[in-house]
Chains A and B, each alone.
Chain A
Amino acid sequence: MSFVPGQPVTAVVQRIEIQKLRQGENLILGFSIGGGIDQDPGQNPFSEDKTDKGIYVTRISPGGPAEVAGLMMGDKIMQVNGWDMTMVTHDQARKKLTKQKEDVVRLLITRKSLEDVVSQSKGQNPRPGCFTYKH
């Protein structure tokens, strides 16, 4: 999941669509993010490569819209509604996720288990909902 500068990033991603839940006057998604290019990547417990400055899901609130949609802890978010999340600051990521005008966010996330599954099922048809992400 790390990147080599100048080379296109390739990853196996899963598309997840989360419906925002209205709570009071806020629309919430029900998970927490960590990471960003302005953060310290060495402290990220979920990344394999400790220089990876991407946005990771650090906590899922139980019963929230994210859990319902299938987001899991430790997922790396690659895109939010078409906006890239691999090279953003923490605050930029937060803003892209919490736009009050949008009801739904479509995420592209990647996790280690997806890669394993794909490599295991080499030769078989790729599962629906999974495709290789070329950025």
Chain B
Amino acid sequence: MDNESQYSGYSYKSSHSRSSRKHRDRRDRHRSKSRDSSSRGDKSVTIQTPAEPLLDAESTRGDDRDDNWGETTTVVTGTSEHSISNEDLTRLTKDLEESAPLECKRFVGPALGGCLSFFALVTPLAFLILPQVLWRDALNPCGTPCEGLYVSLAFKLLVLLISSWALFFRPPRATLPRFFVFRCLLMVLVFLFVASYWLFYGVRVLEPREPDYRGIVEYAASLVDALLFIQYLALVLLEVRHLQPAFCLKVVRSTDGASRFYNVGHLSIQRAAVWVLDHYYSDFSVYNPATLNLPKSILSKKMTGFKVYSLDENTTNNSTGQSRAMIAAAARRRDNSHNEYYYEEAEMERRIRKRKARLVVAVEEAFTHIKRLHEDEAASSPKHPREVMDPREAAQAIFAPMARAMQKYLRTTRQQGFHSMESILTHLQFCITHNMTPKAFLERYLAPGPTLQYQQQSGRGRQWTLVSEEPVTSALRQGLVFSLRRLDFSLVVTVTPLPFLRLGEEFIDPKSHKFVMRLQSETSV
């Protein structure tokens, strides 16, 4: 069909054939930047039931049909009637990611925890100071044992302070959809504990103005001991328990099948999701939507097969039978597209190799044009004044000869969306500064790197949606499947337990390693 009315995803470029090339490039860059606009490393994970459609704004598009639509609209052909064009998608992405406000919810949890821990740390000191302040004269003097208790109290508080700082005062890296059960449990425990201590203190000490100061000091010391133990409990529950591997997670990206296996310990689903995402950003190669489509030359043949249009609202049984017959007839026709796919693949590979060779040669040659100027050389040759450049200028100087080869290579491997000229220049400058060889410079472009490599820093989080049939605070168990969805792809995670290992023992006496030659043995009888 003609270019204007075709809305399928493959032809977005042709629909803008009238716009200039520069405009298209700018749009490409803008699109890629908006899709992968990254964060400080923060992610926010929200829960969503699987039945809910992801793009609410779009799903209504197909639903509001009125009876008069047939008169004035041209026929929409393509993969389905409900397809949307790529520009709508990018517009949506941009809206979702840039207009989401910085959530204050992110900081509520840590703030609460901070308050509680401050309260808990100050309490023993308060226990000690209050009697001194309020009824100093009535207190029994307490000598050496109290001094000992003071010192031990001070050091225990110091240890608590340092370890709390080390373990718990870290910026949160993810906001989870439901409460983190263990953390809540611990905070409740601490609160109850400290509150009950205050209660007893108030009743037994403040009211009757207890004169036995040593008892009070011991009371405070016991509180600090108990806090240390609670911190031990926190350490075990939050940090240590999930270290021993118990499950194997298989993570598969839904669009191109890239998969990894990870070993994790006992975690809840939401924590496991955060864990998987941490590793996703550094292990999985970057998602490149341009590599997903089969070349148009192959698919166009497929698309000229039978098309089934349902023109009624209610599809009857008759029509499904009819469509099945049509599909069977289409399948029986001789189909050589696999042949073309094979040759197309081989051709593509050859082309990539050729371009790569040209690129490597161009880069090597370009790098020979500059060399580092050492300190003593600057003064030694007044006869041949050379222009001294800083790294940025040097990069610009040698970029020109390799630019064309680079651009062609990136275009062939469909990576041109990820690398702008500016980013290539920056990388070149970086490599020159650090004395890297051309091969080291090219490492970034020859293979698609992990997703983290392509992220720019920005303050917003990464929005991922955790889709699960079980409540997300439940623990991992065998056969669980959940998926982490982003706008254009999703990661499907399957959980299998690691096998129980029955390790047996066999002792081999080192003296039992004996060998014989294969001879005719001779026995005398």
Residues of A within 8 A of B (CB): 28-29, 31-35, 39-40, 43-44, 58-59, 61, 90, 94, 97-98
Contacts and interface: CB of A to CB of B under 8 A. Distances in A.
Say which size band chain B's interface belongs to: under 10
A80 B73 CA distance: 106
B282 to A, nearest CB: 58
Contact of A29 (B518, B519, B520, B525): B525
A90 B521 contact: yes
Contacts of B72: none
B525 A33 contact: yes
Contacts of A33: 522-525
Given A32-B523, A58-B520, A94-B523, 8 more contacts: A32-B524, A34-B520, A39-B518, A40-B518, A40-B519, A40-B520, A43-B518, A59-B524
Interface in B498-525: 518-525
B522 A28 contact: no
Nearest 4 pairs of A and B residues by beta carbon: A40-B518, A32-B524, A34-B520, A97-B525
A58 B522 contact: yes
Contacts of A34: 520-523
Contacts of B523: 32-34, 90, 94
A59 B522 CA distance: 9
Contacts, number: 40
Contacts of A90: 521, 523
A39 B521 contact: yes
Contact of B525 (A39, A40, A44, A94): A94
B520 A28 contact: no
Main secondary structure on A side of the interface with B: mixed
A39 B519 CA distance: 7
Contacts of B519: 39-40, 43
B256 to A, nearest CB: 58
30 contacts: A29-B525, A31-B524, A31-B525, A32-B522, A32-B523, A32-B525, A33-B522, A33-B523, A33-B524, A33-B525, A34-B520, A34-B522, A34-B523, A35-B520, A39-B518, A39-B519, A39-B520, A39-B521, A40-B519, A40-B520, A43-B519, A43-B520, A58-B520, A58-B522, A59-B522, A61-B524, A90-B521, A90-B523, A94-B525, A97-B525
Main secondary structure on B side of the interface with A: loop
A28 B523 CA distance: 12
A28 B521 contact: no
Contacts of B521: 34, 39, 90
A59 B524 CA distance: 8
Contacts of A32: 522-525
A44 B520 contact: yes
Nearest to B518: A40
A50 B75 CA distance: 87
A59 B521 CA distance: 12
Contacts of A58: 520, 522
A94 B521 CA distance: 11
A34 B519 CA distance: 9
A34 B521 CA distance: 6
Nearest to B524: A32
Interface in B454-513: none
A44 B521 CA distance: 10
A40 B520 CA distance: 6
A29 B524 CA distance: 8
A39 B522 CA distance: 10
B524 to A, nearest CB: 4
Contacts of B522: 32-34, 58-59
A40 B294 CA distance: 63
A98 B520 contact: no
A43 B520 CA distance: 6
B206 to A, nearest CB: 94
A43 B518 CA distance: 9
A79 to B, nearest CB: 15
A65 to B, nearest CB: 10
A28 B524 CA distance: 9
A94 B523 CA distance: 7
A114 B175 CA distance: 98
A61 B522 CA distance: 13
A32 B525 CA distance: 6
B519, B520, B521, B523 interface centre (most CB from chain A within 10 Å): B520
Nearest to A32: B524
A92 B518 CA distance: 18
Contacts of A44: 520
Contacts of A29: 525
A70 B522 CA distance: 20
A90 B516 CA distance: 15
Contacts of B524: 28, 31-33, 59, 61
B520 to A, nearest CB: 4
